[in-house]
Amino acid sequence: MKTLYSKFVWMTLLIMFASGTIGFMIVNTFYHQNLKEKNDEKNVEVANAIVELIESSNLNSIESLLQTIGDTGYQIYIVSEDGEESFYGGDFRAREISDSIVKKVLNGEVYHGMREFPKETFITGYFSNELTNTVGIPFTYEDKSYALFQRPNIKFLFNEIHLLLGGLAGAMIFISVIAMLIVAKRMIDPLTKLTIATNKIANEDFQVPILVNQRDEIGQLADSFRNMVKQLEASDRYKKDFIARVSHDFQTPLLNIQGYAALLESGDLNGNYAEIIQKEAKRLSGLMKQLLLLTSFDQANTRTKKELFQLDDQLKQVVLKFRWLLDEKDISIQLHLKKVEVLGDREMLEYVWENLISNAIKYNYSPGEIQVEMTETTEYVQVIIEDTGIGNKNTDYGQWTERFYREDAARSTQIEGSGLGLAIVKEVIQSHNGVLSFENVEPHGTKVCVQLQKM
Ligand code: ATP
Ligand code: MG
C-alpha cells in the first residue's frame, strides 16, 4: 500500500533533489552571466604578476619558481616557441588546447579562455578543470618567447570555510529529513486513529474513544467525527426503539385476534367475538396507515400533491365523520368557518383535522365543548381547535408531537391511540411550511393552532 507517510518521505527527498539541481543551475547561470568576465580579468592579473616575477628575477632556472607558484594553488602550463611543454601545480582534467591558440599567445595576444568558456546550463563553468578554461599571456625569458596558461587550483579553493559551509548544509539536510519523518508521523497518526474508529463505528460500536485533540483542521475533523458518532448513535437508538414500539403495538391486537378467532373456531359463540376481531383488525390497519405516512415523510422525496380546495368544506366533512362519537360523549361542537381556499395536500390535511378533532374528543370530559374557528389574512389562514378537556399539566407541549408519546392520563384511561397522530400532524404542517402551536385554556382544556399559507 502506498501510505501517506511514504508519500511524504518520497516527496521531501524529491523536493530536496530538485531544489539542489535547480539551485545549481541558477548559480551556474549567474556565473556565466556575471562572474565569468571578472574572474577572467582577475586571473589575467595573476598571470601578469607571475610573468613580472619571472622577467624581473635573474634566476638561472625558472623551474623552481613556477613549482612554488604551482604549490601555492595555481595550475600552470608553459610552452615555448620551440614547443617545449611543462606543467606545474595540479593537473588538468583535459590537457588539450589547439595549436592556433598557443601560436596566438606566443605572438603576443592575451588568451581569455575563461571569459570565452562555452555557456551551457549543465556544464560547470567556474569548476571546469580544463586547459581551455584558463587565461594565457606571453612572456620572454632568456630571449625566448613563451606562452603561460594558468587557472586557480580548485582543490586549494576548498578551504576550511567551504568545509564548514558544506558541513552546515549537510547537517541541515540531515536534520530536516529526520525532523520531517517525525513531523509527518505525528501528522498522520490522528488520521490512522480516525480510520480505526471508523471501522469500529461501521460495526455499530459507538463507544469508541476518538483520542484526537488538536486545534487544527484534523482536530476539526475529529470534532465533526465525534458529532457524527453521537448522531449516529442517537439515530441507531431511535431506530431500535421505534422497531420495539411498533412490534409491541402490533403484538397486542394480533394476539387478541388470534385468541378470539380460536374461541370462534371452538364453536363458542357467546360473545360478539367477530366484532372484536374486526375492531382489532381496524386498529392494526390504522396503525399501519400511520406508520406508512410517517415513513413517507422520513424518505426525503415526500410526496407533494398540492391542489387548491375549499378548506371550510373539508373541516365540515371531518366533523360530520365524528358525529356519532360526539353524541356518544355528549360533546357539543361549534364551527365558525369562512369560505377559504388553500393550496395543499388534501389527503394529508384531512388527516390533520381528523387527528386534532379526535384528540379534542378523546381527551375531553363528558359533557364537553369544542370550538373550531377560522381567521384569515391575505397570506395565511389560521384554524383554531379549542376543547374543554384534560389539557396539559406542564407548559411543555414538545413531547406531544414526539412519536409514540402519550400522556399517562391517556394511557391509563384506556383511550385508544398509538401516540403517532400529532407526530404526523407536525410533519404535514411542516411540509406545508405552516405553524403548529398549543396553548393552555383556563380552567381546563387545550387550544391547538394551525397556520397555513393560502398559496
Ligand atoms: P393517535 O396516534 O391515535 O392519535 P394519540 O391521540 O394518543 O394517538 P397523539 O394524537 O399524537 O396520540 O397525541 C399525543 C398525546 O398528546 C396524547 O396521547 C395525549 O396525551 C396528548 N394530547 C393530544 N391532544 C390532546 C388534547 N386535545 N387534550 C389533552 N391531551 C392531548
Ligand atoms: Mg391523536
Measured from the Cα of 411, ligand 1's closest atom is: 18
pLDDT in tens, 191-227: 888 889 899 988 888 888 888 888 888 889 889 999 9
Query: Which listed ligand is nearest to 385 at the C-alpha?
Result: 1
What pTM was estimated for this model as a whole? 0.62
Contact call for residues 14 and 8 (beta carbons, < 8 A): no
Instruction: For residue 399, give the ligand nearest its CA.
Output: 1
> Is residue 300 very low, low, confident or very high in pLDDT (cuts 50, 70, 90)?
low
Nearest CA to ligand 1 atom 29: 391
The answer to whether residue 120 scores a pLDDT higher than 70 is no
For residue 278, is it within any domain? yes
| Interval between CA 429 and ligand 2 midpoint (Å) | 15
* Burial zone of 245 (CB within 10 Å; 0-12 exposed, 13-18 middle, 19+ buried): middle
- Protein residues whose CB sits closer than 6 Å to any atom of ligand 1: 355, 359-360, 363, 387, 389-391, 400, 405-407, 410, 417-423, 446
Helix residue ranges, H only, 57-121: 63-71, 99-106
- 55 and 138 part of one domain: yes
Q: Which pLDDT belongs to residue 301? A: 64
pLDDT at 74: 92
Same-domain status, 318 and 343:
yes
Domain end point (choices 117, 136, 159):
159
Residues 328 and 291 in one domain: no
- Ligand 1 centre to CA of 295 (Å) is 20
Cα maximum dimension of the chain: 154
Residue among 406, 414, 450 to mutate when testing ligand 1 (max atoms within 8 A of CB): 406
Distance CA 44, CA 33 (A): 19
**Closest ligand by atom to 416 CA:** 1
Ligand closest to Cα of 407 equals 1
Residues 376 and 434 in one domain: yes
| Number of independent structural domains in the chain | 3
Residue 177, in any domain of the structure: no
Distance 376 CA to ligand 1 centre (A): 26
Is 153 in the same domain as 43?
Answer: yes
Residue 186 belongs to a domain: no
Atom in ligand 1 nearest the alpha carbon of residue 360: 27
At which residue does the C-alpha cell 484526537 appear?
A: 212
Range of the domain at 392: 306-453
Please check the confidence at residue 303 and state whether its pLDDT lies above 70: no
Q: Residue 408: pLDDT band by 50, 70, 90 thresholds?
A: confident
Q: Give the residue from 135, 159, 183 where a domain finishes.
A: 159
Give the pLDDT of residue 262.
92
* Residue 411 forms part of a structural domain: yes
| 356: CATH | 3.30.565.10
Picking from 159, 186, 205, the residue at the C-terminal end of a domain is 159
Instruction: Label the pairing between strands 341-344 and 307-310.
Output: antiparallel
Do 390 and 286 share a structural domain? no
Is residue 365 in some structural domain?
Answer: yes
Supply the CATH number for residue 106's domain: 3.30.450
Q: How many A from CA of 227 to the centre of ligand 2?
A: 34
Tell me how far the alpha carbon of residue 42 lies from the centroid of ligand 1, in angstroms. Answer: 104
Average pLDDT over residues 8-19: 89
Query: What is the residue-averaged pLDDT of the chain?
Result: 89
Q: How far apart (Å, rounded) are the C-alpha atoms in residues 453 and 380?
A: 4
Does any domain span residue 209? no
Q: Is residue 259 part of a domain?
A: yes
| Rounded distance from Cα 222 to ligand 1 centre (Å) | 41
Q: Is 367 left (phi over 0), alpha (psi -120 to 50) or beta?
A: beta
Co-location of 338 and 408 in the same domain: yes
pLDDT at 5 over 90: no
The answer for 55, left when phi > 0, alpha when psi is -120 to 50, beta otherwise, is alpha
Q: Which of ligand 1's atoms lies nearest the C-alpha of 409?
A: 20
Percent of the chain with pLDDT strictly greater than 90: 47
Instruction: Tell whether 294 and 311 lie within a shared domain.
Output: no
User: To which residue does cell 402490533 refer?
Assistant: 250
Please tell me whether residues 424 and 310 are part of one structural domain: yes
What pLDDT sits at residue 260? 92
Distance in Å, CA 400 to ligand 2 centroid: 9
388 within some domain: yes
Nearest-atom index, ligand 1, CA of 385: 27
CATH of the domain at 265: 1.10.287.130
Do 146 and 50 reside in the same domain of the chain?
yes
Helix axes 273-298, 217-265, angle to 10 degrees: 160
Q: Which of 250, 282, 325, 363 to mutate to test the pocket of ligand 1 (most atoms within 8 A of CB)?
A: 363
Q: How far is the CA of 242 from the centre of ligand 1 (A)?
A: 18
Q: Looking at residues 331-337, what average pLDDT do you find?
A: 96
Closest-lying ligand 1 atom to the alpha carbon of residue 419: 12
Which of the two residues, 322 and 413, has the higher pLDDT score? 322
Same domain? For 8 and 154 the reply is yes
Residue 185 cell numbers, joined: 508521523
Residues 122 and 15 in one domain: yes
pLDDT in tens, 43-75: 999 999 998 988 887 777 788 888 888 888 899
Count of Cβ atoms closer than 10 Å to residue 260 Cβ: 21
Long-range contacts from 347-352, C-beta under 8 angstroms, 24+ separation: 347/305, 348/293, 348/428, 348/431, 349/311, 349/314, 349/428, 349/432, 349/452, 350/314, 350/317, 350/318, 351/293, 351/424, 351/425, 351/428, 352/425, 352/428, 352/429, 352/450
Q: Where are the beta strands (DSSP E) in 231-390?
A: 307-310, 331-336, 341-344, 368-376, 380-387
